[in-house]
Amino acid sequence: MFQFTLFGQCADMEPIMALAAKYGLYVIEDNAQAIGADYKMRDGSVKKAGTIGHIGTTSFFPSKNLGCYGDGGALTTNDDELAQKIRIIANHGQRKKYYHEVLGVNSRLDSLQAAILNVKLNYLDDYCAARQQVAAYYDKAFEHLPNVITPAREANSTHVFHQYTLKVPANMRAGMIEYLAEKGIPTMIYYPVPLYKQEAFKQYWQPGAVLPVTEMLCDSVISLPIHTEMDESLLGYISRSVTTFFSH
């Protein structure tokens, strides 16, 4: 099973783990957007995103919450046997140099990126807090806009806001993007094409199949700028521009 933690909150992992246990499945927890988030277990204990599945995966792409200066990523696990297998696969299938046990890939983390991440890892909580402050600012700025739905917070997870994603009426979104672009404010749609319509999954397409909630979200989501270095004047400018768009 593969579980995404999209935009910055954990998926509800406990039922997923229970289902996996029932059917003897491994769970891979994609933690690329939620690194640093806390998941509240039913018994009141707290676990970090990416540590609940059998394997956690994350991306250190520069725009991620914990980004390096190029491409990078990591897998995490508490299972020594799995850890060993993963290390071998990531290093051309070798445990011992030039002895290839299995078909592997070159997925070693570059030393330069590792050195950068070693420092930045100490600041992950600060990065999360900075993003949460941006989100709180936007929440407040948009709370009275009738056409704008701000991001929901799940009860069992904190939110580290890899993205700050609004829902707006589908027929207003293109105009909003254009209006903000004219003001120099970039926006993004995550994601324009749902997984079930990707060409790469064509062999699984079912004729006529439509996922209405997915379609509705693809047509109405819009992500605003969010990062760790946004000051009040920038946030004010973006918020005022969004508010003006919806007020005329």
Ligand X SMILES: Cc1ncc(COP(=O)(O)O)c(C=O)c1O
Binding status of residue 114 toward ligand X by CB under 6 A = no
The one-letter code for the residue type at 94 is: Q
**Residue with smallest beta-carbon separation from ligand X:** 59
Binding status of residue 59 toward ligand X by CB under 6 A = yes
Binding status of residue 226 toward ligand X by CB under 6 A = no
Binding status of residue 157 toward ligand X by CB under 6 A = no
- 116 φ, ψ to 5°? -65, -45
Distance between CA atoms of residues 72 and 60, nearest Å: 5
Binding status of residue 32 toward ligand X by CB under 6 A = yes
Distance between CA atoms of residues 143 and 17, nearest Å: 35
> Of 201 and 237, which CB lies nearer to ligand X in the complex structure?
201
Binding status of residue 246 toward ligand X by CB under 6 A = no
Binding status of residue 69 toward ligand X by CB under 6 A = no
Neighbours of 157 (CB within 10 A): 20
Q: Which stretch binds ligand X (CB under 6 A): 28-36, 84-92, 112-120, 122-130?
A: 28-36
> Of 61 and 69, which CB lies nearer to ligand X in the complex structure?
61
Exactly one of 9, 17, 27, 33 binds ligand X (CB under 6 A); that residue is 33
The tokens 């229970």 sit on which residue? 18
Q: Is 196 helix (H, G, I), strand (E, B) or coil?
A: helix
Sorted by sequence, the CB contacts under 8 Å of residue 218 that are 6+ apart come out as 189, 191, 192, 193, 194
Distance between CA atoms of residues 111 and 231, nearest Å: 33
Q: Which stretch binds ligand X (CB under 6 A): 13-21, 25-33, 110-118, 194-202?
A: 25-33
Neighbours of 137 (CB within 10 A): 18
Q: Which stretch binds ligand X (CB under 6 A): 20-28, 29-37, 168-176, 193-201?
A: 29-37
Residues that bind ligand X (CB under 6 A): 4, 6, 30, 32-33, 59, 61, 71, 73
